[in-house]
Amino acid sequence: MQDKRGLLIVVSGPSGAGKGTILAHTIESYPTLKYSVSVTTRNPRKGEIEGVNYYFKTLEEFETMLNQNEFLEYQKVYDNYYGTPFSKVNEQLNQGFDVVLEIDVKGALEVKNKYPDAVMIFISPAKRETIEERLRGRSTESEEQLKIRTNSAIEEIKQAVFYDYIVVNEDVHQGAMDIIAIIEAEKCKVKNNKKFIDNLIYGGK
Ligand code: 5GP
């Protein structure tokens, strides 16, 4: 029996690594894992839903939230701002749910600084070529944006060394199973079961 507060899980990876798809599969198979919906100033892509993929805000609205200290972390990524709303994450962790943040590398390192127990997972494509192929397949970006995203994807991969785990996206199902295996292993860590052990020794609930 894991201690009551849930695990804070941070997932990053370059654009085109397939993070979104893997996480969607993971959450489907592991319902106690909650996805933290970020706030962004970027425009919705086709098919994206307010409150499901992001909370889409104007720059002014974002700045107001920032001034009111509503973010656990935030970053400017490409030309837009992205932030993790603090209160929802904290509430879900306190309720014992595990919460996953899908955020960029800089934001991830900020989270790790504030919460050293955060479990850091880097999702990587199986091959270098896959990055551009995937970004092209999504075809929501202009040629110039595509180039910028491909280059920064390569730069981001250099940051994988700061993570605890790497999950290679060769197969979406396997990727999701790997993330679940990581979560399950983390739950079995002695440091996450201190209260349980104390209860065994000293009694109580
Ligand atoms: P996209 O525009 O493709 O949805 O996301 C661009 C990048 O921003 C991705 O690397 C994504 O993980 C990151 N991102 C999304 N939400 C947040 C957030 O709340 N904080 C930070 N730091 N990065 C985020």
Q: From the CA of 77, how far away is ligand 1's center (Å)?
A: 7
Nearest ligand 1 atom to the CA of 106 is 22
Question: Which residue puts its alpha carbon closest to atom 2 of ligand 1?
Answer: 42
Q: From the CA of 186, how far away is ligand 1's center (Å)?
A: 24
101: phi then psi, degrees, rounded to nearest 5: -105, 125
Interval 93-149: pLDDT, tens: 999 999 999 999 999 999 999 999 999 999 999 888 888 887 787 666 688 888 888
What separation, in Å, do the N-terminal and C-terminal C-alpha atoms of the chain show? 11
Q: From the CA of 20, how far away is ligand 1's center (Å)?
A: 11
Confidence of residue 73 (pLDDT cuts 50, 70, 90): very high
Question: Which residue puts its alpha carbon closest to atom 6 of ligand 1?
Answer: 77
Give the pLDDT score at 148: 85
Q: From the CA of 21, how far away is ligand 1's center (Å)?
A: 14
Joined together, the tokens standing for residue 81 give 């701002």
Answer for the pair 53, 44: CB distance below 8 angstroms, yes or no: yes
Single pTM value for the model: 0.91
Question: Which residue puts its alpha carbon closest to atom 1 of ligand 1?
Answer: 15
CA–CA dist 205, 203 (Å, integer): 7
Q: From the CA of 199, how far away is ligand 1's center (Å)?
A: 40
Query: Average pLDDT for residues 1-9, to the nearest whole number?
Result: 81
Q: Which CATH architecture has domain 8-199?
A: 3-Layer(aba) Sandwich (3.40)
With H, G, I as helix, E, B as strand and everything else as coil, classify residue 69: coil
Sign of CA dihedral 83, 169, 162, 2: positive
Nearest ligand 1 atom to the CA of 14 is 10
Question: Which residue puts its alpha carbon closest to atom 24 of ligand 1?
Answer: 103
- Domains of the chain, by residue range, sit at 8-199
Interval 35-64: pLDDT, tens: 999 999 999 999 999 999 999 999 999 999
